[in-house]
Amino acid sequence: MARTSRIAVIALLAASVSLHRADAQSLTFSLFERYLDSLRQQSGMPGMSAAIVQNGRVVWEKGLGVSDAERSIAARPDTPYHIADLTEVLSSTVLLEQCLETGHLGLDDRIQQWMPSFSEPATTVRQVLTHRAASGGFKYDPGRYSVLTSVIEACIQKNPIPFRQAMTEKIFDRLGMSDSVPAQNVDGASADDRALFSDGQLERFGSILNRMALPYRVSGGNATLTTNVSKSLDAATGVISTVRDLARFDSALDNSALLHRDTMAAMWSNAAAANGSAMPTGLGWFVQTYNGQLVYWQFGQTSGAYSSLILKVPAKRLTLILLANSDGLSAPFSLPAGDVNASLFARAFLRLFVG
């Protein structure tokens, strides 16, 4: 009986510790939500969707504000947004898996080998992926990164296919990202799109686009509906997605369901400038430290319209994903310089969950 009693006491203590941990985590999530919403309102952004992924599963998600101010439609975790430059992390994954790991491409191949019209004869795939400028130093340049669109189309499985089809087949369909669209201008009336996608896919894309958060320009605290958005897709920008779908992508990366571990190690290692100094970028990602811990991140910004952020803390298997329907997540913080600490949103997350 005594042994049975001791086992019962141990079980009760373990359950109590577990409950205390759950309560503490719930309190932290509630505090973070308040911070986020306060920052959102201060920036004037109409709406934002957020998710935190830990150990491969979503442990918290929330919609804040509105995706459509005129109709008072609330933002939700399944609200689709234009993710802007966050497209780069998806594109780099397609290139690394479908071109590098298959042996069809080398990172030190010159871009002109795959895109003869490119104007920089000596520039390599690696240099563009890491935003190493022709001058040899770091310069964040999404326009230059977009040349990888043609590289991916030319090298993928030795069977050139349009980039929007590659993104759909190799990422969205494969990972069950059912609320993602390769580009806002996917159109069932287009002969090209009817050749690339089934009627069912085109119908689903149309339904998703009808639910998209509308873009707003914020000035003087006032949000005004805008049309300042490119609707096409390239390797740097254009994907439409949700925080839930991007959480699926994040989990697939962490579980090595997309890339080999040595490829991920290269992707999340600081590239070198021409003078040998470390740049703040890996292959399609920013790489830096916070309080001695590595963090991987990428942001998106369509000026006066949309913004986004993904921030990974690998030592804790923890990821933050934010999408917004104004540029307030990115524009005020000079993120192209390569320091995520400049973001008030990132700092709130890191201080609460990393310390």
DSSP output for 177-215: -TT-BS-TT--TT-HHHHHHS-HHHHHHHHHHHHTPPPP
Per-residue pLDDT, 159: 65
Q: Within 10 Å of residue 314's Cβ, how many Cβ atoms?
A: 14
**pLDDT recorded at residue 17:** 41
Sign of CA dihedral 317, 85, 326, 280: positive
Q: Are 148 and 91 in contact (CB under 8 A)?
A: yes
Alpha carbon distance 126, 124 (integer Å):
5
pLDDT for res 24? 65
Cβ neighbors of 23 (< 8 A, separation 6 or more) are none
Which residues make Cβ contacts (< 8 Å) with residue 94, sequence separation at least 6? Answer: 152, 156, 166, 167, 170, 171
pLDDT at site 313 = 98
User: Which pLDDT score, from 0 to 100, does residue 220 have?
Assistant: 87
Distance between CA atoms of 332 and 326, rounded to whole angstroms? 11
Which DSSP string corresponds to 289-340? EETTEEEEEEEEEETTTEEEEEEEEGGGTEEEEEEESSSTTTGGGTGGGS-G
**The CATH number of domain 43-86+179-353 is 3.40.710.10:** yes
Q: Measuring CA to CA, which residue among 34, 33, 25 is closest to residue 77?
A: 33
- What 3-state class would DSSP assign to 344? helix
The two structure tokens encoding residue 222: 């006032």
pLDDT, residue 14, reads 43
86 secondary structure, DSSP code: G
Nearest to 164 by CA among 192, 136, 131: 192
In the chain, domain spans: 43-86+179-353
* Pairwise CA distance, residues 287 & 289, whole Å: 7
pLDDT at 23: 63
Q: What pLDDT, on a 0 to 100 scale, did the predictor assign at position 158? A: 58
List the pLDDT tens digit at each of the 355 positions of the chain.
444 445 444 443 344 444 455 566 788 899 999 999 999 999 999 999 999 999 999 999 999 999 999 999 999 999 999 999 999 999 999 999 999 999 999 999 999 999 999 999 999 999 999 999 999 999 999 999 999 999 999 988 656 789 999 999 999 999 999 999 999 999 877 888 899 999 999 999 999 999 999 999 999 889 999 987 889 999 999 999 999 999 999 999 999 999 999 999 999 999 999 999 999 999 999 999 999 999 999 999 999 999 999 999 999 999 999 999 999 999 999 999 999 999 999 999 999 999 8
